[in-house]
Amino acid sequence: MNDRLSAQVAFLKKADALKLVERANVLIDQSRPENSAEHSWHLALWALVMAPLANRDVSIDRVIRMLLLHDLVEIIVGDHPIHLKTDWQSLARAEHAAAVELFGLLPSDQAESFLALWREFEDDQTADAKFAKILDRCQPLFQVLCASNPRSDHLDVVRSNLEGGRAAYLSEAFPLAFAHAQNLLTGQPADDNAFTKRLAFLTEADQLKSVIRASRLISDARFENSAEHSWHIMLYSWVLGESAGPGVQIDRVLQMLLLHDIVEIDAGDHPIHGQVDHAVQTAKEKAAAKRLFGLLPEAERLFFTALWEEFEAAQSPDARFAKAVDRVQTPIANLANGGGSWRDYNVSLAQIEARVRPSIKAGAPSLWAWLQPRLFEHFATNRV
């Protein structure tokens, strides 16, 4: 079991590199290029928000899982914008080889299931894959169109994509999105419909990509942001799901972790090892949840708020496992990058045991049993 867990962690550490893969898209505020990890998080959020618009035969849980892993191959092959000339057949072969290599880091049963799901997305034949592909076509369009001052060259790409490119089929596959994109592109008034009622929240959520955390990437290249962190711990909870306690529903955990840091758009990130007035922070986060989830239609507002509150309370089996995963990711990164945020905050082993251990042991005791000796070894040989 220890070897199996080590293999799972090795895959999750490798996945950290997706945060350094830049895409052609830029954030809605135009501040920098989007990376493939935060793009994957945003797509998963699109799936959850747009679930009521999917066909009845679509499993949103499977769509979310597809979108979490669909771009992992870019760690090896990079991003290839659709508007640039590319040998797509050669790229497809390279991506498949990359998928085999990356998923091959996992235990064989997980490697097989992950590769099968990735292939299903690429083949675009099942109902789940088709809806996932639709969202993957939509999000980049609206990331351009919803910007306050979009770049003219990006608008040209959107226009070409809608008129005869890969997004043209949305006119039939997802007509509400296609029509709204055309309206935004031509300056026409927006229709009030099920799609546009959900888009404001998804546009606002883009700001989570600019919330900087105290934790560093495994490469130590920069600090992590809260959107890519959310993507990564969703992947953690999926891969490490067998470490959860009885009765834990991993798909609910994925949804919790998808939403758990949204409030940081208004309330900011507050490091576990920093000085925080918890009463003030709690009040800020509750106000943020009310404002942000209030951008959604009533049913989604109530559902998202309840799920976020369940995570915060950490009383249900699902929430306890979600909290455990949220606590375990940063120590694993810090062990890999020589101390990371422990150096920045002068953190001791005793502080980790006091602040981190309770949540991990409560939700996933086997993860703490795996992590603890590695912490002892690190602090025995390193001054933080």
Instruction: Report residue 294: phi and psi, to 5°.
Output: -70, -10
Same domain, 201 and 124: yes
The residue among 184, 206, 228 that closes a domain is 206
Q: Looking at the chain, which runs of residues are DSSP E strands?
A: 22-26, 33-35, 212-216, 223-225
What whole-number distance in Å separates Cα of residue 230 and Cα of residue 218?
A: 15
276 or 140: which leads in pLDDT = 140
Same domain, 274 and 351: yes
Same domain, 256 and 118: no
- Nearest one of 159, 168, 189, 204 to 304, comparing CA atoms: 204
* 92 assigned to some structural domain: yes
Residue 211 has pLDDT above 70, yes or no: yes
Same domain, 65 and 127: yes
* 162 assigned to some structural domain: yes
Same domain, 193 and 273: no
Span 323-333, average pLDDT: 96
CB 44 within 8 A of CB 68: yes
Q: Where residue 97 sits, what CATH number does that domain have?
A: 1.10.3210.10
Q: Is 38 exposed, middle or buried (0-12, 13-18, 19+ CB in 10 A)?
A: buried
What whole-number distance in Å separates Cα of residue 138 and Cα of residue 161?
A: 11
What whole-number distance in Å separates Cα of residue 163 and Cα of residue 229?
A: 35
Span 306-333, average pLDDT: 97
pLDDT confidence of residue 327: 95
pLDDT confidence of residue 384: 46
Span 219-230, average pLDDT: 96
Residue 105 has pLDDT above 60, yes or no: yes
Same domain, 332 and 274: yes
190 or 310: which leads in pLDDT = 310
Residue 83 has pLDDT above 80, yes or no: no
Q: Are strands 223-225 and 33-35 parallel, antiparallel or unpaired?
A: unpaired
Task: Give one DSSP letter per residue of 349-371, joined into a string.
Answer: HHHHHHHTHHHHHHH-HHHHHHH
pLDDT confidence of residue 1: 61
* Residue type for position 1: M
- Nearest one of 7, 1, 13 to 331, comparing CA atoms: 13
CB 65 within 8 A of CB 238: yes
> How many folded domains does the chain comprise?
2
CB 343 within 8 A of CB 259: no
Span 202-206, average pLDDT: 98
Q: Which residues of 260-291 are buried (b: 16+ CB within 10 A; e: fewer)?
A: bbbbbbbbebbebbeeeeeeeeeebbbebbee
Same domain, 149 and 260: no
Same domain, 130 and 24: yes
Same domain, 260 and 354: yes
* 221 assigned to some structural domain: no
At residue 33, the 3 state secondary structure works out as strand
- What range does the domain containing 160 cover? 2-206
Same domain, 289 and 181: no
* 21 assigned to some structural domain: yes
The residue among 188, 206, 224 that closes a domain is 206
Specify the pTM: 0.96
* 342 assigned to some structural domain: yes
Mind listing the pLDDT tens digit for each residue in 336-359?
Answer: 999 988 888 888 899 999 989 999
Q: How far is CA 118 from CA 65, 139, 176, 230, in A?
A: 9, 19, 27, 20
Q: How confident is the model at residue 383 (pLDDT cuts 50, 70, 90)?
A: low
Q: How confident is the model at residue 263 (pLDDT cuts 50, 70, 90)?
A: very high
* 157 assigned to some structural domain: yes
pLDDT confidence of residue 273: 60
* 192 assigned to some structural domain: yes
CB 107 within 8 A of CB 172: no
The residue among 155, 177, 206 that closes a domain is 206
What whole-number distance in Å separates Cα of residue 380 and Cα of residue 228?
A: 31
**In this structure, what token pair is assigned to residue 328?**
């375990």
What whole-number distance in Å separates Cα of residue 71 and Cα of residue 51?
A: 21
* 228 assigned to some structural domain: no
Element housing 8 (H / E): helix 2-15
Element housing 129 (H / E): helix 127-145
Backbone Cα Rg of the chain: 21
- Indicate the DSSP class of residue 189: P
List CB contacts of 146: < 8 A, sequence separation 6 or more: 28, 184, 199, 203
Mind listing the pLDDT tens digit for each residue in 153-198?
Answer: 999 999 999 998 899 999 999 999 999 999 999 989 889 999 999 9
Same domain, 120 and 179: yes
pLDDT confidence of residue 80: 82
Same domain, 252 and 200: no
Q: Is 345 exposed, middle or buried (0-12, 13-18, 19+ CB in 10 A)?
A: middle
What whole-number distance in Å separates Cα of residue 279 and Cα of residue 269?
A: 15
Mind listing the pLDDT tens digit for each residue in 288-303?
Answer: 999 999 999 999 999 9
Tell me which residue has tokens 């470490």.
243
Tell me the pLDDT of the chain averaged across its residues.
94
pLDDT confidence of residue 279: 85
CB 268 within 8 A of CB 293: no
